[in-house]
C-alpha cells in the first residue's frame, strides 16, 4: 500500500499486482448518491479460461441528474469496450481504479466488457486450488470497497440495486449466487434478478462442489462444500439443516417480515477472510467450520452461533442496510446480539451467553481500551479504509452487550416492537441510527437520545466496584474518557449450602447511574457477592475484597455457568490491568479449572492464561508458571470423561503448555494416549507443531506429516510449522514469505506469520524485532484489506517484551506516511506491551 496526497487530505491506496485503489470517502459517497439512482446490474462472468484472469461483461442501468458527471469503482486488467447510452467511451476513462463518466442522461445504460484478475487475498473473485485433488474453486467477496475488482459498480451501501448474474463455467462445475437458478445447460448458468441489495452483498460460489438440498416452511435450503469435504458435509448436514430450521422459526416468531430473500443457501469456502459473510440467499462460511476430526461442544456451539448471526443479518444489514459505514453497528451489533440470543433460545446450545461473557465481551473490552477505541456508533467514518478498521470487538461485542443492556432498559416487548416498526419503514432500503432510535422511542415510550449519547456515541468502558459496608456500587471512567453511564445490573448473593455447594440466595436488580449508587437492599451479607450477576451490562467488574478472597474456594462450587464465567472474566481482566498478579491467576487455574464443567470456560481460561504467562511473566518465572498451567490441564485430562469435550479441550491446553517431549512423541506414536482421545489429523498437527517449537522435530517430520495429510488444513498447518522451525535458515525463509511473497495466498501468509514468534526461540528471532518495524510498511504495499491487517498482527513481535521494542514502535508510529491499517496494529500492540511491562515491574 502506498500513500499519496491531494491538498491537505491523505489518501491511502491499495496496490495489488498492477492495481492501485483509493478508498471511497464519505463526502464522495454523499455527492454520488445525490447524483445517481442505481436500478440494476446485469453481470456475466466467463471463468472458463485458465490462468489468473477472467472475463466480465456488465450492464448497469441507473438514473442521474441530466448533464451530471460521476464515477464507478473499476479495476480491470484490460478493457475491451465501454459504451454509455449507445455511445462509445474512450477506455482511458478507466484509470485502473475508477471509471469516470460525464454528460449523463436522466436514464442511463452503461455496458462494459473487460478482463479482470483473480485474487489470492480473499477479496474480489478469489481463486483457490485444492491441494488434495487439484480442483479449482471461486468465490466472490466484494466487501467494503472491492466491487471494482470484479465489475464496474457504484460501490457504496446506500446505492442498492437488483443483481442479475450469469456465469459461463467449466462443464463439470456448479454455480450458486444470491439469486435463484433459472436455467443451466452445459456450462451456462443463469440466475433470476435479486431484490435490491448493496454491492458488497453480491456473491458467487463456483467449482465442482458437493451439494445437499432440503426445504423448510416453504424456503428452499442448500449446503455446498468442496468435493474433498463431501464426506464431512454429508456427516454434518443433519445438524446444519436442523440449526438453520430452528433459527428460521425463531426469527419468524420475533419478526413480522418473514425471511425476505427466497432460498437460503450456505456454502463453505476455502481461505475465507471472515468466519462467515451474510450474502442474502447465499451465506458463505470459512470451510474450517466443516469439522474433519474431533471437536468440542463449544466449537459446535460456536458454529451454531455463527449460523444464527448470519441469519440475523438477513434483516439487519440485508433487508435494512446502513446508509454509510458509521452505522456499521446496525449490522454487526444486532447480528452479534441476536445470533447469541437466538442460538440459545432455538437450538440445543443453551450456553451461548456464557460464551459471550467469557470470549466476546473480553474481545470488546480489550478493543475499547486500546488507543484505537471508537464509539459503537461513531458520528463520522471518513472513508472505507476507516470503516474496515471498525470491524472489531467494539462494533461486534461491545455493541451486542450494549443492546443487551438496552433490552434490560426498555423491556423485550418494546424492543422487538421497535425493530418490527424499523423493518416496515425501511425494507430493501437504508437507515441510520436516528431512524432506529425513532422506532424504539415510539415503541418504548422512552426518550433514548440521552441513553444513545452515552452508550453509542462515547467510547471506552466504565469500571464497577462493590463495597459491602457501606453497601454501594462505585462507577468510574478513564480520565481521558470520563463518561458515566446508566447501568441496570444484577447483584447476586451466594451462600454455602449444607451440601457444600454455593447457592444464589437472591439477585437484586439495581440501577447504577452515578459515581456511587446505594443498592435498594443494603444488606449484602453473603459468602460471595457477584456484581453484574446475569451479565446484563457492559463494564469492567471488580469484586469486593471479601468476595475476591473467596473466589478460589467458592468458584468450583457454583452451579451456574454464567456466574462462573463472570467471575473468571473479571479475574482475567484484573490480571490484564495489572491489579492482580499472573501468579495468582496460575494458582487459581491449578485449583479451580480441573473441576470446571463448562468447556468454553476451560478453553478460554487456558488460552488466556497461556498468553498472559508468556507476556506478563519474567523470563525467570515463566517456566514454572507454564508448568503449572500444563499440570492444571493434565489434572483435567485425568478427571474428565473419555471421549468427551472436556478431555479434548484439556489435551489441547496441555499440548500447548507442556515441555514433556517424550510424552508428546508417545501420543504421536499412539502410546500412552488418554482413553477416548482421538489423535486424529488435527491433533497430530498440534502435537507436531509443539514439538517443532521445542526443537524436537523439524522440516523432515513436517514434510512427512503433510504427505499423510495432503489437504487444505494440512497445507496450512505445514506452513505454520515450517515458520516455527528453530533454525536461522527456516526463520529467514519464513520471514521472506511474510514480507515479500506476493503469490502466497492470504491464509498461507497468515499461518506463516502466526508460527514465527515463540519465547522458546526468542534469541533466534531477536534480529527480526527491528526488521518488523523496518520492513512491515513494504509488506502493506503488496497486500490489502483484512489479509494485510491479520498478517501485520500475527507478525508483530508481541513476545519481545522490552522498552526497546516500544521505542521501535514509537519511531514507526512517528512516520506521517504510515499505512493506517499498520498504524492501528502497531499502536494497539504497543499498548498491550505497555501493560505487560507495567505488570512485570
Question: Secondary structure of the chain: what % helix, strand, coil (to 5)?
Answer: 45, 20, 35
Cell 451479565 found at: 535
User: What are the beta bridge partners of residue 630?
Assistant: none
641 catalytic per annotation: no
Q: In terms of residues, how long is the chain?
A: 841
CB count in 10 Å sphere of residue 695: 15
The grid coordinates listed for 89 are 467511451
Q: CB of 206 within 8 A of CB of 174?
A: yes
The grid coordinates listed for 407 are 433490552
Distances (CA, A) of 425 to 108, 377, 508: 29, 21, 38
CA distance 785 to 766: 28
Give the full edge-to-edge strand order of the sheet including 276-277: 210-216, 219-225, 264-269, 282-286, 276-277
CA distance 661 to 320: 55
The grid coordinates listed for 2 are 502506498
* Cis ω for the linkage preceding 282 (within 30 of 0): no
Instruction: Give the pairing type, strands 320-322 and 429-431.
Output: parallel
Q: Which of 42, 75, 123, 310 is catalytic?
A: 310
CA distance 92 to 99: 9
Where b means 16+ CB within 10 Å and e means fewer, 512-545 reads beeeebebeeeebebbbbbbbbbbbbbbbbbbbe
Axis-axis angle for helices 399-410, 361-369 (nearest 10): 110
Torsion, Cα 745 746 748 752, to 10 degrees, reads 130
CA distance 838 to 578: 7
The grid coordinates listed for 548 are 475476591
Q: CB of 62 within 8 A of CB of 41?
A: no
Cell 415510550 found at: 445
Distances (CA, A) of 75 to 124, 158, 420, 519, 664: 10, 21, 40, 61, 50
Interacting residues of 188 by C-beta distance below 8 A, sequence separation 6+: 166, 167, 168
Q: Which residues are tagged catalytic?
A: 310
Amino acid at each position: 500500500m502506498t500513500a499519496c496526497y491531494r491538498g491537505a487530505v491523505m489518501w491511502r491506496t491499495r496496490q495489488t499486482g498492477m492495481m492501485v485503489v483509493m478508498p471511497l470517502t464519505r463526502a464522495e459517497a454523499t455527492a454520488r448518491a445525490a447524483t445517481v439512482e442505481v436500478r440494476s446490474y446485469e453481470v456475466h462472468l466467463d471463468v472458463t479460461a485458465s490462468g489468473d484472469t477472467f472475463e466480465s461483461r456488465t450492464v448497469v442501468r441507473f438514473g442521474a441528474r441530466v448533464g451530471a458527471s460521476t464515477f464507478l469503482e473499476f479495476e480491470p486488467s484490460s478493457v475491451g469496450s465501454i459504451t454509455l447510452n449507445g455511445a462509445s467511451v474512450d477506455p482511458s476513462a478507466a484509470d485502473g481504479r475508477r471509471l469516470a463518466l460525464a454528460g449523463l442522461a436522466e436514464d442511463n445504460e452503461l455496458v462494459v466488457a473487460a478482463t479482470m484478475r483473480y485474487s489470492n487475498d480473499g477479496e474480489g473473485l478469489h481463486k483457490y486450488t485444492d491441494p488434495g485433488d487439484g480442483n479449482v474453486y471461486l468465490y466472490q467477496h466484494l466487501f467494503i470497497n472491492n466491487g471494482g475488482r470484479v465489475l464496474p459498480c457504484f460501490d457504496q451501501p446506500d446505492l442498492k440495486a437488483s443483481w442479475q448474474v450469469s456465469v459461463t463455467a467449466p462443464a463439470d462445475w456448479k454455480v450458486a449466487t444470491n439469486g435463484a437458478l433459472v436455467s443451466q445447460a452445459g456450462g451456462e448458468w443463469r440466475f433470476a434478478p435479486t431484490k435490491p441489495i448493496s454491492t458488497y452483498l453480491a456473491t458467487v460460489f463456483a467449482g465442482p462442489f458437493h451439494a445437499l438440498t432440503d426445504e423448510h416452511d416453504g424456503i428452499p435450503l442448500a449446503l455446498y462444500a468442496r468435493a474433498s469435504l463431501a464426506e464431512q458435509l454429508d456427516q454434518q448436514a443433519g445438524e446444519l439443516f436442523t440449526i438453520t430450521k430452528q433459527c428460521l422459526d425463531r426469527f419468524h416468531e420475533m419478526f413480522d417480515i418473514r425471511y425476505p430473500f427466497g432460498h437460503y443457501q450456505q456454502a463453505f469456502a476455502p481461505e475465507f477472510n471472515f468466519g462467515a459473510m451474510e450474502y442474502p440467499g447465499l451465506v458463505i462460511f470459512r470451510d474450517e467450520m466443516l469439522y474433519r476430526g474431533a471437536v468440542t461442544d463449544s466449537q459446535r456451539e460456536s458454529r451454531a452461533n455463527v449460523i444464527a448471526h448470519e441469519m440475523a443479518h438477513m434483516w439487519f444489514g440485508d433487508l435494512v442496510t446502513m446508509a454509510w459505514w458509521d452505522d456499521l453497528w446496525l449490522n454487526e451489533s444486532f447480528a452479534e446480539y441476536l445470533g447469541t440470543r437466538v442460538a440459545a433460545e432455538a437450538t440445543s446450545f443453551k450456553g451461548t451467553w456464557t460464551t459471550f461473557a467469557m470470549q466476546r465481551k473480553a474481545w470488546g473490552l480489550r478493543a475499547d481500551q486500546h488507543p484505537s477505541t471508537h464509539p459503537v456508533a461513531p458520528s463520522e467514518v471518513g472513508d472505507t479504509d476507516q470503516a474496515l478498521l471498525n470491524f472489531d470487538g467494539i462494533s461486534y461485542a461491545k455493541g451486542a452487550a450494549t443492546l443487551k443492556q438496552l433490552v434490560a432498559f426498555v423491556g423485550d416487548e418494546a424492543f422487538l416492537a421497535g425493530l418490527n416498526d424499523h423493518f416496515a419503514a425501511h425494507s430493501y432500503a437504508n437507515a441510520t441510527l436516528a431512524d432506529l432510535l425513532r422506532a424504539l422511542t415510539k415503541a418504548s415510550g422512552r426518550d433514548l437520545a440521552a441513553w444513545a449519547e452515552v452508550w453509542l456515541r462515547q467510547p471506552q468502558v466504565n469500571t464497577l466496584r462493590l463495597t459491602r459496608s457501606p453497601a454501594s456500587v462505585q462507577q468510574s471512567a478513564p480520565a481521558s474518557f470520563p463518561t458515566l453511564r446508566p447501568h441496570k445490573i444484577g447483584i447476586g448473593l451466594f451462600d454455602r449450602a449444607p451440601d457444600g455447594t454455593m447457592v444464589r440466595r437472591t439477585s437484586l436488580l439495581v440501577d447504577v447511574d452515578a459515581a456511587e449508587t446505594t443498592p435498594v437492599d443494603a444488606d449484602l451479607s453473603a459468602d460471595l457477592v457477584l456484581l453484574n450477576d446475569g451479565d446484563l451490562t457492559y463494564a469492567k467488574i471488580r469484586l469486593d475484597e471479601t468476595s475476591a478472597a473467596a473466589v478460589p474456594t467458592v468458584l468450583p462450587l457454583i452451579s451456574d455457568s454464567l456466574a462462573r464465567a463472570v467471575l473468571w472474566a473479571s479475574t482475567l481482566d484484573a490480571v490484564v490491568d495489572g491489579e492482580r498478579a499472573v501468579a495468582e491467576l496460575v494458582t487459581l487455574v491449578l485449583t479451580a479449572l480441573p473441576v470446571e464443567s463448562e468447556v468454553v470456560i476451560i478453553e478460554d481460561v487456558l488460552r488466556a492464561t497461556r498468553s498472559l504467562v508468556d507476556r506478563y511473566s519474567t523470563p525467570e518465572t515463566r517456566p514454572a508458571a507454564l508448568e503449572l498451567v500444563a499440570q492444571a490441564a493434565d489434572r483435567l485430562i485425568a478427571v474428565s470423561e473419555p471421549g468427551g469435550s472436556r478431555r479434548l479441550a484439556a489435551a489441547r491446553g496441555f499440548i500447548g503448555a507442556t515441555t514433556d517431549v517424550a510424552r508428546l512423541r508417545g501420543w504421536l506414536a499412539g502410546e500412552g494416549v488418554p482413553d477416548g482421545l482421538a489423535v486424529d489429523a488435527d491433533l497430530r498437527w498440534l502435537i507436531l507443531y509443539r514439538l517443532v517449537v521445542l526443537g524436537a522435530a523439524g522440516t523432515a517430520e513436517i514434510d512427512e506429516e503433510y504427505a499423510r495429510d495432503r489437504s487444505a488444513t494440512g497445507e496450512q498447518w505445514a506452513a505454520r510449522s515450517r515458520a516455527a522451525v528453530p533454525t536461522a535458515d527456516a526463520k529467514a525463509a519464513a520471514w521472506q514469505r511474510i514480507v515479500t511473497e506476493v503469490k502466497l495466498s492470504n491464509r498461507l501468509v497468515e499461518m506463516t506469520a502466526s508460527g514465527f514468534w515463540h519465547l522458546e526461540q526468542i534469541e533466534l528471532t531477536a534480529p527480526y524485532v527491528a526488521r518488523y518495524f523496518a520492513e512491515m510498511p513494504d509488506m502493506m504495499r503488496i497486500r490489502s484489506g483484512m489479509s494485510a491487517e491479520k498478517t501485520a498482527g500475527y507478525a508483530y513481535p508481541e513476545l519481545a517484551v522490552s522498552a526497546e521494542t516500544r521505542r521501535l514502535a514509537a519511531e514507526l508510529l512517528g512516520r506521517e506516511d504510515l499505512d493506517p491499517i499498520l498504524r492501528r496494529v502497531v499502536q494497539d500492540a504497543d499498548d498491550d506491551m505497555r501493560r505487560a511491562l507495567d505488570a512485570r515491574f
